[in-house]
Every structure is written in C-alpha cells, then in structure tokens.
Amino acid sequence: MDESPRPPSDQSPPPPPPGAQSHTGSPTDFLKGIVGKRVIVRLTSGVDYRGVLSCLDGFMNIALEQTEEHVNGVVTNRYGDAFIRGNNVLYISAAEPL
C-alpha cells in the first residue's frame, strides 16, 4: 500500500504559471474569435500551415491567406491562399495573443 502523505482535499490547485492564459468558453467561441487572425494549422501528417484564417466551416475545412507551409520547422512553400480539408486537421492554434 502507498503510505505517502496526501494533501488535504480542501486545498485549492496551484495557480497557473506566470504568463499562462486561462480562457473560458467553448471551442466555437475560440474559432469565431480567431477568424481574421494569424493561426497555425497542424495536419495529421505533421506539416504546419501558418497564415491568416479567412474562414472555416463545421467540418473544419479551413481557408487561409498569406500561407506558409512548414515541414520540420522549415518554410518549404508560400501560398497566397490555401484551402485545407478538415479531415486532415489535427489542431488549429492562435499564432498571436487573443
């Protein structure tokens, strides 16, 4: 049996590290808030696309402007506009503070 001391259950969790942002809201609110802003889109293949989010739909199909393709952290292509099919998207992240 584990006999290590356990913290009292009335203790609150530790505060977030300095500079960490805690956002509340739904994923839909987040996605609506980043339209028109710079984003990073990671594909299931590991390739990143960075650009300005023009629009997206309920299937996570994404349209980007001023797009750069990054493979292993190196820019491999630049596109004016890029369209990414949603089933290839692993995640989308804001590239600038919200």
> How would you list the strands of the sheet with 62-71, edge to edge?
74-84, 62-71, 48-56, 38-43, 89-94
CA dihedral sign, ordered 48, 49, 54, 59: negative
| pLDDT tens-digit profile, the chain (98 residues) | 555 555 555 555 655 555 445 557 899 899 999 999 999 999 999 999 999 999 999 999 999 999 999 999 999 999 999 999 999 999 999 998 87
Which pTM was predicted? Answer: 0.74
Placement of tokens 């609110």 in the chain: 29
CATH class of residue range 27-94? mainly beta
